[in-house]
Structure 1
């Protein structure tokens, strides 16, 4: 087949996230080095304190390239609509992802998950984003020529 030149474009830069003065978000630590961001119902806005805490946390995460950062975003709204809670959760996850990218965390380490409504039996606050830190799996040991380790 003939060679067809394909124009390569640079990646789209992350959006700038700005603080909203009257936003009621706040942060709390999670076990094993994670962080929880709590939001008011139906909002993805961050106040200045939450934004600063996330920027500082992102700078800290940038020093540990062997770690994956999973952004587990939840949102709850009254009614039966499943779409809107997932959209709000996605907006929260993408905002935190942008903050971390601006802080120096590689995009290949960030895994946003917009889960929408929390599962039945989940006792944590419904409107939240949990930053969960995972270590990348190590490579399996090299096997010998006969297939035995």
Structure 2
């Protein structure tokens, strides 16, 4: 088994070699009176020391590595498993307040009406119908109502019809409590009731536009587009519009009831 040499032993051997070489030289010089030359191989000695140093470094590294392993094993053995500690709920800083019953219920809330100011704008009057000079039309006035007769399938107003509507508006101004009913009719076929009603509606709208432009409020005008008349009058064309005052209708009903 080969044991590694320590640095101290190497120096000791080197000194021993120097001493033996010196004694041998003196001995030879004294014995034979000749000059003896001793050569020492310093390179071999230095290589021997370096190899020993390298071996010592390797042993130190292995020893350190083994020491680290032992130290790590000791640490692992010393580790103690600690059980997790349950977190306790924090206690409320404020004490719990016991519920109390109010002595009386709260008063009923009173809601006030919101003062909303809505600007009122007068309604825009409809467009005034134009006067057609050559339009066919007649006027018949009775004690109860005024009748405007139109041409067949026509909604145009001539000068005489326009004047009669304006005079009727002036009369309504003198009776502000009265309203006017516009019963509009037109000839047609019983198989097609929409066409005569549409023509009758356009005739009533033309008369209503003249009354509104003459200052009669729309709330006093009631338009009824009836279309084909229920009873045919030989002396009266079905293409006509009746303007009836409400107060005159009530008077005639009262007189008929008395008789």
Which TM class, normalised by the smaller chain length?
0.7 to 0.9
Query: Which structure 1 residue ranges, 5 or more long, are not aligned?
Result: 138-149
Higher relative contact order (CA 8 A, sep 6+): 1
Correspondence 1:94 to 2:200 = no
Query: TM-score scaled by structure 2?
Result: 0.47
Query: By percentage of residues, which structure has more helix?
Result: 2
Name the structure 2 match of 1:59.
170
Q: Compute the RMSD of aligned alpha carbons.
A: 2.3
Query: By percentage of residues, which structure has more strand?
Result: 1
The structural deviation recorded for 1:36 is 0.2
Deviations 1:45-89 (A, max 9, x none): 111111112112212212211111000000113562111111110
**Cα distance in structure 2, aligned partners of 1:14 and 1:100:** 10
**Cα distance in structure 2, aligned partners of 1:6 and 1:66:** 28
3-state SS of paired residue (1:135): helix
Counterpart among 242, 246, 253 of residue 134 in structure 1: 246
Contact 2:125 2:213 in 1 (8 A): no
Point out the structure with max Rg over C-alpha.
Answer: 2
Distance 1:6 1:83, change over 3 A: farther
Contact 1:19 1:51 in 2 (8 A): yes
The structural deviation recorded for 1:125 is 2.2
Report matched runs for 1:16-95 at 5 Å: 16-32=128-144, 34-78=145-189, 80-95=191-206
**Cα distance in structure 1, aligned partners of 2:213 and 2:117:** 32
Distance 1:134 1:5, change over 3 A: closer
The structural deviation recorded for 1:91 is 0.6
Query: Which structure 2 residue ranges, 5 or more long, are not aligned?
Result: 1-113, 251-259
